[in-house]
Amino acid sequence: MSILLSMTPPEDNLERFKTVWPGAEPDTGSDLKTHLDQLGDRWSNSLATSGRDIAIVSAGKARLDFQDDQGPTFQPNPNFLQWIEPRFASESSLLLLSQEKQPKLLFYQPEDYWHATPPPPDHLAGEVDIEIFKTTEDLDKRCFELVTGQRAAYIGDEEAIPDINLVFASNPTELVNQILYTRAVKTTYELSLIRKASVIGARGHLAAKEGFEQNLSEFEIHIKFLEATGLNEHALPYGNIVAQNDHASLLHYQHQERHVPEPILSLLIDAGGSYKGYASDITRTYCARTEHEALETGVFKSLILAITNLKDILIAEACNGTSFVDLQRLMHQTLAKILKEHRLINISPDEAFESGLTELFCPHGLGHILGLQVHDVGGQQISADGTLSPPPTNYPSLRLTRPLCQDMVLTIEPGLYFIPSLLRTLQNSTSLDWKLIERLVPFGGIRVEDNIRVNDTGNENLTLNAFQILERQNQ
């Protein structure tokens, strides 16, 4: 038999992807079917409410850098990924969702010898009608045939709009608001994926802690995280924040230094795992064991413990119906007490809170919704019609202002930082113990972050559970 004829055709070659993607076996269980049914109901109701018959949900297209033939890794449309997991999300594919008919996937699978072409999601064949196309011209022509005569809406990047001679609404506000609002509430299937992403992230954090204790550089700790999670940098839910010493005062520090600082004082690592498109987002802060005479190692260790306790206090308050804005205020009220207890301020906790002084020590919001995107959508949207609840003027970075609800997944991440640019705004103030603060500035800052799911009894700490799973496995 000819070698060419005996080779496995690309559309049937799923085996090679099992060695590339963590958890590559497709899900086929009842939770997935229920998930797809729930998504179908959400989209059907949203289409009806917004006066549309059908939605064209685009996977998107890869982008190129300026004056280059290469670009960043392809990031599919999250609304597409809620149906089709990343390894099956072939660019230029379209998902057609209507009020009554079964979802239809127009799957783009070109014959390509430059890149590996994703296989179609055949495991969804009973729930999603799949048609495969080798050219975008044929795919767009089929889309035209299916959509003609219907009130259609396109959802996705406008650069990826199919080339069809039809008039349709692009990302209509009424429909988009409906979809973004419902995405905050996770299905049972989505929760199972986030739990797995949490275990992956926790595994990376244990390796990073070990690297810090071995006096490794930021870059080496980053590599240990990747090795432990089995993820490459493209598969991370966001770029790892691996910040030693004063780098931890930069909230989204983006570099990984190759050299080891002298001395090593602290490590703040904000890094998550990813599983089938869903993210975890975990932060831990560590202090070196070695005491330094001119620095306040003992105070910094005590502050880490205090912020960890603060995280636990805030998580205990999070339940169905809780105002996240109230939790933000509670964070700052308690932070004021921590500052006073550690003699960082010379005024009362009430004065520190009311004057906004604590906001200079923690300028970010307490947390955000988590899911397909690390900063998932709908956090400030308090109804499906798009009504927004803006953050308070003194907490402009607060991404979550809607009340918490059942099966919402979110982060709780209090912090305390010594940010020179912010501290300088108070340089003439007598409210702070400047000598103590100066000895803490080299440590950078502290953030401790867990991910929780709101349930009927309060919440489920996904991060704590993930670490406990790994601890049992290692016993």
pLDDT-derived band at 21 (thresholds 50, 70, 90) equals: very low
Distances (CA, A) of 234 to 91, 164, 203: 16, 32, 18
Reported as half-sphere exposure (CB side, CA atoms, 13 A), residue 416 has a value of 30
For residues 419 and 414, give the distance between their C-alpha atoms in angstroms, rounded to a whole number: 15
Q: Are residues 84 and 46 in contact, defined by beta-carbon separation less than 8 angstroms?
A: no
Distance CA 37, CA 120 (A): 20
Region 301-309: mean pLDDT is 98
Token pair 């899911």 is found at: 371
Q: Residue 372 has what pLDDT? A: 98
- Kindly report the three-state secondary structure assignment for every residue of 121-157: CHHHCCCCEEEEECCHHHHHHHHHHHHCCCCEEEECC
308 touches 449 (CB < 8 A): no
Residue 89: CA count within 13 A, CB half-sphere: 24
Torsion of CA 175, 169, 71, 142, to 10 degrees: 110
The pLDDT of residue 160 is above 70 = yes
Mean pLDDT, range 184-209, rounded to an integer: 98
- Residue 98 tokens read as 């209507």
What value does the mean pLDDT of the chain take?
93
Residue 18 has pLDDT above 50, yes or no: no
Quote the tokens at residue 372.
């397909």
pTM for the model = 0.93
> What distances in angstroms separate CA 252 from CA 87, 205, 357, 369, 381, one per listed residue?
28, 17, 22, 18, 25
The mean per-residue pLDDT over the stretch 313-330 comes to: 98
β partners of residue 90: none
Would residue 407 be called left, alpha or beta, if left means φ above 0 and alpha means ψ between -120 and 50 degrees? left
Q: Which pLDDT belongs to residue 165?
A: 77
| Cα–Cα dist 96/44, whole Å | 12
Q: What is the pLDDT of residue 26?
A: 65
Strand order in the sheet with 450-455: 409-412, 450-455, 458-461
pLDDT of residue 441: 97
Query: pLDDT tens digits, residue range 403-439?
Result: 999 999 999 999 999 999 999 999 899 999 999 999 9
Question: Distance between CA atoms of 467 and 202, rounded to whole angstroms?
Answer: 6
pLDDT at 188 over 60: yes
- For the cut 80, the answer to whether the pLDDT of residue 5 exceeds it is no
Percent with pLDDT over 90 in the chain? 88
pLDDT tens digits for range 133-142: 999 999 999 9
For the chain, the domains span 26-63+71-182, 188-474
Task: Find, among 258, 282, 95, the residue nearest to 203 by Cα.
Answer: 282
Q: Using an 8 Å Cβ cutoff, are 126 and 105 in contact?
A: no
What burial letters (b/e) apply to 228-261, b meaning 16+ CB within 10 Å?
A: bbebeeebbbeebbbbbbbbbbbbebeebbeeeb
At residue 290 the predicted structure's pLDDT band, cuts being 50, 70 and 90, is: confident
Architecture of domain 188-474: Alpha-Beta Complex (3.90)
- pLDDT at position 29 is 80
CA distances from 316 to 154, 322, 336, 413, 469 (A): 42, 11, 19, 13, 21
pLDDT reported for residue 25: 60
Tally of residues, the chain: 475
Is it true that domain 26-63+71-182 has CATH number 3.40.350.10? yes
